[in-house]
Amino acid sequence: MYPISPTHGALTMSTREIAELTGKRHDHVLRDARNLLAELQSPQVRGDYQDGQGRTYPMLLLDKSQSICLVAGYSAQYRMAIITRWQELEQSARPKSQLEMIAQMAIEAARIERQVEAVQQQVALVDQQVKDIAAGAIPPGWQTIRNLSAESGLSEQKTRDLIKAFGVHSKKVPFMTPGGIVTNATVADEADFFRAVGVVIHEATRPMRSKYWYHPKLGRFERREVA
């Protein structure tokens, strides 16, 4: 919607906005406005606007009486649209009472407080992540995929497959690589993981002539000797 403009302290509505509110072509509204002002022997207050392609076109600025007089011959629906728009303008331009200003300040203070709380929560989250990284990030009783692979004799891929197939508790934690790069590493509950390993070894078909074991949930897998 096109804004209603203050002109020398008075509120005005542009012919461009009147055209939009009434669904009429602006050149027709502009023509009617010029005829009206000529008939009333009122000076024209000119303005301009740009279309979507940056081209400039003229428009007129009308006060409340002029704009309502202009649409007097329009349908009741269009007249009501103009009247409603003027009521909105006058309401927004009306000086607020002390009580209204206090209420507005309270609303604004509550909004700022919510923003501050959101920022504080984000800062606390980042701070905790930094502490986790500094502390090694891996909680007691949990191990990385690489460590579990080394301790179980399974490849890292089969370690991941086992965690997924048996629903071993796992999660992502921030982790700092030897090169100082912070990334997310998958860790799994060590006790939960090795219980699943025990089930696999008990249920798997042991290798006879090949080095591969077989389990329905893991397929073929190899177990390295663990030191």
Q: pLDDT per residue over 71-122, tens digit each?
A: 887 888 888 888 888 888 777 766 667 776 788 788 888 888 899 898 888 8
The set of long-range contacts for 162-167, using a CB threshold of 8 Å and a minimum separation of 24, is 162/193, 162/196, 162/197, 162/200, 162/217, 162/218, 163/188, 163/193, 163/196, 165/217, 165/218, 166/196, 166/199, 166/200, 166/217
Is 60 exceeded by the pLDDT of residue 70? yes
Name the burial class of residue 24, with classes exposed (0-12), middle (13-18) and buried (19+) by CB atoms within 10 angstroms of its CB.
middle
Cα angle at 68 between 66 and 71, to 5 degrees? 110
Buried b (16+ CB within 10 A) or exposed e, 81-111: bbeebbeebeeeeeeeeeeeeeeeeeeeeee
Return the percentage of the chain with pLDDT > 90, whole number: 33
Buried b (16+ CB within 10 A) or exposed e, 39-70: eeeeeebebeeeeeeeeeeebbbbbbebbebb
pLDDT band, very low/low/confident/very high, at 180 (cuts 50, 70, 90): low
Is pLDDT above 70 for 5?
A: no
pLDDT at 3 > cutoff 60? no
What mean pLDDT comes out for the span 185-197? 93
The rounded distance, in Å, linking the Cα atoms of 88 and 90 is 6
Check residue 4 and give its pLDDT.
44
